[in-house]
Amino acid sequence: MDRMLRVASNALTGRTRWARAISVSLAVAGTCLALGVAIPTPATAQQASGKSMSVPLAPDAPDTYVVKKGDTLWDISAVFLKYPWYWPEIWYVNPQVANPHWIYPGDVLRLIYVDGKPRITVGTAGEVRLSPQVRVDPLAQAIRTVPYDILMNFVGRPTVLTKKQVDKSPYVVGFRGGHLAGGNFNEFYVKGLENPPAGAEYTIVHPDRELRDPDDGDLLGFIGVYAATGRVITTSDAKHEDPLTHLSAVESGREIQQGDLAFPAVSKFGDDFILSAPKNLKLNGQVIAVVDGLAVAGKYQVLAINRGKRDGLVPGNVVAIFSRGLDVADFYSRGRDWTKFTANYETLPLPDERGGSLLIFTVHDRMSYGLVVESTAPIRIGDFIKHPNFGHDPLGKENFMR
């Protein structure tokens, strides 16, 4: 039967084949127009693999993905992309969605091709036709770029402080009853708060170890140590040029000291940000602190780096973290003749290795904070950061994307 079909097919004239092809094309186009769906450009094998494209797709990128509660934009990007920071280039700004950057559980993300390029568009389960509509889901339910609670905890209890924060923030000036320090249920006074209401809570942070730029030794900030949570009792009258706020310690992590800083316990982090790569291709910096005083960091821990606005960084940028190759003893550089073995062996530097990716969420002039979103090795102070497309090659070739 197959042979007969092939013979019959070969017997068709060129005119007949063209006529049938045109009829089928028109039928498909008419169906797509009726459904209000864009007609995707057929994908070649190279497009499907992403090998020849500016946006490299993941080898097993699906045609559709249903967003689940608990997903993050980083995780979703990794489903479709080999390198998640290319998300802005693949995200199709769908005019049917009120805010194209907001994705919600239940949304169906579809991989299509527009002008031969891969794009991700969004709809809802069971949709046949996309029509203009306004989201009624609260923004709080939207998918965040990274786990939002981690960032809120960092902002609410800052553990890395810039020099400007230390110089300008409200601070503890003294204690009720003549105490030199305070703890749970002790009362204290803070200078610099702007008449907060009774009951408002503030995080008290002690500036500890200095953070200096390893490039020039300049003071960038301090490690902050959580001391206590204070609740406002009242604010003094015009007795002082700068009103003093009277607080009571309702929770403590260590003793409160004069000079400790006060920050709002409930801080607004602001709108979410979009994944991106830094515009500065020559970015080169270092990890200068691991939050919580740990020696090493892994996934979902916060780091401070000695690069910021003046280096072109913005919230949402992803940078690569590299561990420095250690020097190892090459005992066999002179061969395996043990009679030649001496203590004067040569040392050999191992290559620098990529150990993770850092998503920048807060940027200051010379310092930024980021969340480790992927980690393949322990990350330490002194590890260096580069543009995410920077390669493993110790010669510095930017060929990581090959």
The residue extents of the domains of the chain are 45-124, 151-264, 284-386
> Using CB atoms within 10 A of its CB, is residue 136 exposed (0-12), middle (13-18) or buried (19+)?
exposed
The confidence score (pLDDT) of residue 37 equals: 35
pLDDT of residue 176: 85
User: What pLDDT, on a 0 to 100 scale, did the predictor assign at position 10?
Assistant: 40
Task: Supply the pLDDT for residue 179.
Answer: 72
Phi and psi dihedrals of 220, rounded to 5? -100, -30
Backbone φ and ψ of 168, nearest 5°: -110, -15
- Give me the half-sphere count of Cα atoms (radius 13 Å) on the Cβ side of residue 3: 0
Tokens at 311, concatenated: 């280096």
Sign (positive or negative) of CA dihedral 266, 358, 376, 350: negative
Identity of the amino acid at 301: Q
CA angle (310, 311, 313) in 5-degree steps:
100
Phi-psi domain of 116 (left: phi exceeds 0; alpha: psi -120 through 50; beta: other): left
Torsions phi, psi for 19 (to 5 deg): -60, -45
Closest alpha carbon to 400 in 388, 382, 383, 385: 388
Q: What whole-number distance in Å separates Cα of residue 18 and Cα of residue 207? A: 78
- pLDDT tens digits, 286-330: 999 988 767 788 888 889 999 999 999 999 999 999 988 788 887
One-letter amino acid of 288: I
Q: Report pLDDT for 58.
A: 86
Q: Strands 219-235 and 244-252: what pairing?
A: antiparallel
CATH class of 284-386: mainly beta
Collapsing DSSP to helix, strand or coil, 122 comes out as strand
In this structure, the number of other CB atoms found within 10 A of the CB of residue 379 comes to 24
* Structure confidence by residue, pLDDT tens digits, 7-26: 333 433 444 443 443 333 43
Look up the pTM and report it. 0.69
- Mapped onto helix, strand or coil, the DSSP state of residue 175 is strand
Concatenating the DSSP letter of every residue in 218-285 gives: -EEEEEEEEEEEEEEEEE--TTSSSPEEEEEEEEESS-B-TT-EEEESS----S----B--S-TT-EE
Q: How far is CA 84 from CA 91, 124, 126, 377, in A?
A: 11, 23, 27, 19
**Mapping DSSP to helix (H, G, I), strand (E, B) and coil, where does residue 401 land?**
coil
Q: Which pairs from 212-217 meet CB under 8 Å and 24+ separation?
A: 212/288, 213/288, 213/306, 213/366, 214/286, 214/288, 214/306, 214/382, 215/306
pLDDT in tens, the chain (402 residues): 333 333 333 433 444 443 443 333 433 333 333 333 333 333 333 333 333 346 788 888 899 999 888 888 888 888 888 888 888 888 765 555 455 557 888 888 888 888 888 888 876 555 444 443 444 445 456 777 777 777 776 766 777 888 998 999 999 999 987 777 777 778 999 999 988 999 999 999 999 989 999 999 999 999 888 999 999 998 775 556 678 899 999 888 888 999 999 998 876 666 667 788 999 999 999 999 988 767 788 888 889 999 999 999 999 999 999 988 788 887 777 666 666 656 667 788 888 888 899 999 889 999 999 999 988 888 999 999 999 988 644 333 444 433
How many Å apart are CA 252 and CA 259, to the nearest integer? Answer: 16
Q: How far apart are CA 115 and CA 220, in angstroms?
A: 47
Q: How far, in Å, CA of 69 to CA of 72, rounded?
A: 9
